[in-house]
Amino acid sequence: MIERYISLLAQLKKLSQDTELKVLEDSADAFITDNVNFFTKSFMITLCAYLESYVKDLSMLFIDHINIKLADLNLPHNLVRWSVLKKDKLLEFNDSEYKYENLKIKIKKKELDEFISGSPHRTEVLFRKFGIELYKDEKFNDLKEKINSIVVKRNKIVHHNDNASDLSFVDIEANIMVVEEYILNLNEIIKSKF
């Protein structure tokens, strides 16, 4: 899965570089030169979309992995539910609450949507729900503010119609490199839990 996102980031970087070259040409197309700001804003939005999509896919990959482990353990749903809810007696369950099946994490990809964000702070909260302490990873902490500034810039563009006139193709390429380093690190952290 990570390979797909690294490829997407490489394609976005190439597109940014190619667009910048077209802007710098002596006989540059007016359509390109007149819309530089549109292109840089679009690249930022796309970059953050890739980041959010990666976080969502990584989350589902983790859930799927946990379900594989749970299937091997054959844990009775009712017993685990009783323990988690701390009921004094199993008999306090309503008849409709009994499930004669093994425990399974029943979170679907679509259900993750409200928890998914490019924001490293929200990503940190999401992975706490999975029992993963991202905040203890030095590299995650080193990249957190860089990623946050990228996401904040994207949010200003999308939600506040920021003209992003301070955003250059060089900035886009630097941001792509930061996001790549960040997702590679997330990948390592999560895969270490497998």
φ/ψ of residue 116, rounded to 5: -90, 135
Nearest CA to 6 out of 192, 149, 14 is that of 14
- Of 51-60, 72-81, 93-102, the range with the lowest mean pLDDT is 93-102
Range 107-133 average pLDDT: 96
- Is the pLDDT at 92 greater than 70? The verdict is no
Spatial neighbors of 135 by CB under 8 A, at least 6 apart, are 124, 141
Contact 183, 2 (CB under 8 A): yes
Name the residue ranges covered by the structural domains of the chain.
Answer: 2-73+106-191
Contact 16, 176 (CB under 8 A): yes
Spatial neighbors of 99 by CB under 8 A, at least 6 apart, are 77, 78, 81
- Is the pLDDT at 4 greater than 70? The verdict is yes
Range 14-41 average pLDDT: 92
How much is the pLDDT for 32? 87
φ/ψ of residue 34, rounded to 5: -75, -15
φ/ψ of residue 132, rounded to 5: -115, 125
Q: Which residue has the tokens 């190619």?
A: 18
Structure tokens at 179: 């996001």
